[in-house]
A and B are shown apart, each in its own frame.
Chain A
Amino acid sequence: MPDPLQVSLKTAVSGMEAQSVRLRVITENIANAESTGSSPGLDPYQRKTVSFASELDRLTGAQIVKIQNIGVDDSPFKLELDPGNPAADSKGYVKRPNVDMLVEMADMREANRSYEANLQVARQAGELMNMTVNLLKDA
């Protein structure tokens, strides 16, 4: 049976990796919040979503977390009247990306919080190992 503390470290790392990917996707969304199409009538940037799934790690028997898929948000684009834009259609309307800054910011904070929690678990796993090793000190 593998050492539970090693398993705990590995699980925490899988959590941090998943949250990092999530943060990357959020960053993409924020960076492209104003990316319209390049020619008339073309679709703008479509918001990306990320979903997690827990997976049995066969080596350790722990439920680690994996990215299930990175999909796209199918909610409709907002139309804005902007005849000067290169992406404006014949009536002067431009399709804007379906990215809501507020939602992205809230999502970012949540990813941050979850990442920190995983970091705390990893830190503590190291501490517990140290406590055991320190039994050898002045014994």
Chain B
Amino acid sequence: MSQPYLFALASQKANWLHERQALVAENVANVNTPGYKATDMKPFSVLLDKAGEGLLTTNPAHFSLASVAQTPERPEPTDASETTLSGNSVSLEGEMVKLGDINRSQSLNTNIQRVFHQMVMSVLK
């Protein structure tokens, strides 16, 4: 890959984090909904591993899989160890931990992007 790959990677990571935040919001909003099953994203590493494999483009007419890799993985139900009598499997504490996780990762992500941008700019100055 000759292009600076990091920006695309950081953007995908940001996408994934934002989707995860939306899922946490759903889980927390439905914390008292009977029968609601908590969901979470597949780990980002799974998404990353899949991005490399796939079809080889041996002919320029072949479709690129880059656009496929852009879309985040679909959510999957988490383990139902905390299911209450009403069939709700959301653990509020777990969701709060996830929230902190997302915050930290996003902070790291944006800071890396900033530093990388500074590196690029230092060549120009």
A51 to B18, CA, bound (A): 29
Total contacts A-B at CB 8 Å: 110
Instruction: Output the residue of A15, A53, A127 with the most chain B CB within 10 A.
Output: A15
- The 8 Å CB contact of B33, one of A53, A117, A124, is A53
User: Which of the candidate stretches A2-10, A79-87, A91-99 sits at the interface with the other chain?
Assistant: A2-10
Q: Interface residue tally of chain B, by bracket? A: 20 to 34
Given the complex, which residues of A lie within 8 Å of B95, measured CB to CB? Answer: 117
Q: What's the least CB distance linking A37 to chain B, in Å?
A: 32
A51 with B21: CB separation less than 8 A = no
Binds B, one of A25-33, A40-48, A70-78, A131-139: A131-139
Contact of A52 among B21, B34, B107, B113 (CB under 8 A): B34
Q: Which of A51, A64, A117, A135 contacts B31 (CB 8 A)?
A: A117
Chain A min CB distance to B104 (Å): 11
Known: A128-B102, A135-B113. A11 touches B18 (CB 8 A): no
Chain B min CB distance to A109 (Å) = 13
**9 extra interface residue pairs, beta carbon distance < 8 Å, beyond A63-B30, A120-B96, A121-B28:** A8-B25, A15-B30, A19-B32, A62-B25, A63-B36, A114-B92, A117-B92, A124-B99, A128-B21
